[in-house]
Every structure is written in C-alpha cells, then in structure tokens.
Structure 1
C-alpha cells in the first residue's frame, strides 16, 4: 500500500511538473527553444509504458502507475499540440 501511495505522489510530481511549461508556452506563444523531436520521443516512450500500464492494471495491480502514466501522456500530448500550434513556419 505504501508503495502505491509513493507511486501516486511521485507520478503526480513528474506529470504536474510539465504544467508550468505548458502555461508559459500558452502565455508567451513561444516554442522557439522547444524540440518537437524531444517531445515526440517522450510521447513514444510514455506511450509504450502506457501499454504496459494497461496490461498490469488488467491483472489488478498497477492502477497508480496507469493513472499517473496516463496523466503524463495527456500532458505531453498537450505540449506537442502547443508546439505545433505556436511554432513559426518558414
């Protein structure tokens, strides 16, 4: 039980850590220094972990991991959406 709580707390800290960056991008509408390739790689990695999280959650364990991983995936997709929306096209 304590490990599930630690997973939730740690996962929320990792996921919510992206919110200030998302807010900054939305406020400034500037993504000049952000790499779409980096965030694409992060989404690919989190997406693969999401498949694993769903698999272990189906077995009745890993629900905290599924919750926090899904949150991370959603926030990374929002970040990619911001990059695509605000990047300057040549």
Structure 2
C-alpha cells in the first residue's frame, strides 16, 4: 500500500475515533463516564502531532490532528457544560 494512502487512512480513522463519544454525550447530556484527565492528555498529544506535522511539512498529519483537536475541544466543552457540580 502506498505510504501516503496509509497515512491518510490512519489519520482519518484516528480523527473520527472520538465522534461516537461526542455524539453520545450531546444526545444524553451526560459526561459522567468521561475522564477530564484523558481529554486533556489527548488534546495535548494531538497538539504535538500538529506541531510535528508542521516541522515535517506533512499536511495529512496537520489536518487530521487539527480535526481531532476540534472534536475533542467540543467534547471538553460538553464536559464543562454538562458535568455535575458538587
């Protein structure tokens, strides 16, 4: 398989991996089972992938990880909005 195609497929699958979770959270307005630490670590890691993509001048890495950051930032926003305040 072509290296570029492999990278695009991997990036696309990784980018959409949290969409089912986001859809579930938006529908149910429940973030009880979401780990805030996991979200923060994931967003940080994705940001480093974007940086790496710029260093290597790899548009597929940049675009897929920017999309993943967007999805996870929305999920983080939902976490803040829907969490139970104690």
Same fold by TM-score greater than 0.5:
yes
- Cα deviation, 1:27-61, whole Å, max 9, x if unaligned, reads 0000001111110011111111211112221xxxx
How big is the alpha-carbon RMSD for the aligned residues of Structure 1 and Structure 2? 1.4
List gaps (5 residues or longer) in structure 1.
Answer: none
Q: Which residue of 1 aligns with 2:85?
A: 89
The count of aligned residue pairs is 86
Whole-angstrom distance in 1 between the partners of 2:32 and 2:85:
11
Normalised TM-score (structure 1): 0.87
Whole-angstrom distance in 1 between the partners of 2:76 and 2:52:
22
Normalised TM-score (structure 2): 0.90
Pairs within 5 Å for 1:57-76: 57=57, 62-76=58-72
Which of structure 1's runs of 4+ aligned residues deviate more than 6 A? none
Pairs within 5 Å for 1:1-80: 2-57=2-57, 62-80=58-76
List gaps (5 residues or longer) in structure 2.
Answer: none
- Structure 1 residue 79: Cα displacement: 1.2
